Amino acid sequence: MNFIEFKNRMFDLGCFNIHQVYAWMPGFDRNNFVRWTRKGYIIRLRQGYYTFPEYKGKPDFAMYFANRIYRPSYISLHSALSFYGIIPEAVVQITSVTTLKTASFTNEFGEYSYKSISADLMFGYNLKPLADGRTLQIAKPEKALLDLLYIYPFYASEKDFEELRLDEDFLLDELDRNLLNEYLLKYENKALENRVKLLLNTYSL
């Protein structure tokens, strides 16, 4: 197998898996994955998933790959809050939620963390366009906040919420309280409702 031919076929996918390769060429020699990874021709994202080193220089592709290597999933929690500028810190891990089991992966693009939620809570995300026509599945700000408080119940006091350092201008001017309440009802979780109420009180909302 000629690598140039392989790259021409797979490059525009951005991220590809071995099943896509075998669908194209059933007799593909899987040892090529090992050889080409060692030579730096391709990058292993997780078992069975690969990309090309050229994508390391493209913005947002580390987040795009989060959607692709563990599906279904969407970016949420601290990563989504940081993306919108609601928390000040740059987030080291790319955090997502999924209906699959909790998992984590590390590769040349970063650390990926996936937290499990039930299928009926798999909602409230946007498809954000990327530069080349791809889309990024990322929680709306209201859903990212709720996912955070739901998955991490240790955020349970005024001090905890103050230490999150949420952007008060965003909370006052851009947070959709009606949407937040609409989403909150779908969780059917009284403890979560109490934490949300305390969060809003902490920031005088």
pLDDT of residue 57: 86
Q: What is the pLDDT of residues 146-187, one digit of tens each?
A: 999 999 999 999 999 999 999 999 999 999 999 999 999 999
What three-state secondary structure class fits 75? strand
- pTM reported for the whole predicted model: 0.94
Average pLDDT, the chain: 96
Residue 89: band (very low, low, confident or very high) from pLDDT cuts 50, 70, 90: confident
DSSP characters over 109-136: TEEEEEEE--GGG---EEEEEPTTS-EE
Portion of the chain with pLDDT greater than 70, in percent: 100
Q: Using CA atoms, how far apart are residues 170 and 158, in angstroms rounded to an integer?
A: 18
For residue 47, give the amino acid letter.
Q
State mean pLDDT over 72-93.
Answer: 93
Q: Using CA atoms, how far apart are residues 205 and 201, in angstroms rounded to an integer?
A: 6
Residue 77: band (very low, low, confident or very high) from pLDDT cuts 50, 70, 90: very high
Q: How far is CA 66 from CA 19, 33, 100, 102, 195, in A?
A: 18, 21, 14, 14, 28
Backbone angles phi, psi at 115, to 5 degrees: -110, 140
pLDDT of residue 132: 82
Q: Could you tell me how many residues make up the chain?
A: 205
- 134: exposed, middle or buried (Cβ count in 10 Å: 0-12, 13-18, 19+): middle
What three-state secondary structure class fits 169? helix
Q: What is the pLDDT of residues 49-75, one digit of tens each?
A: 999 999 998 889 999 999 999 999 999
Residue 76: band (very low, low, confident or very high) from pLDDT cuts 50, 70, 90: very high
Residue 106: band (very low, low, confident or very high) from pLDDT cuts 50, 70, 90: very high
State mean pLDDT over 25-49.
Answer: 97
pLDDT of residue 72: 97
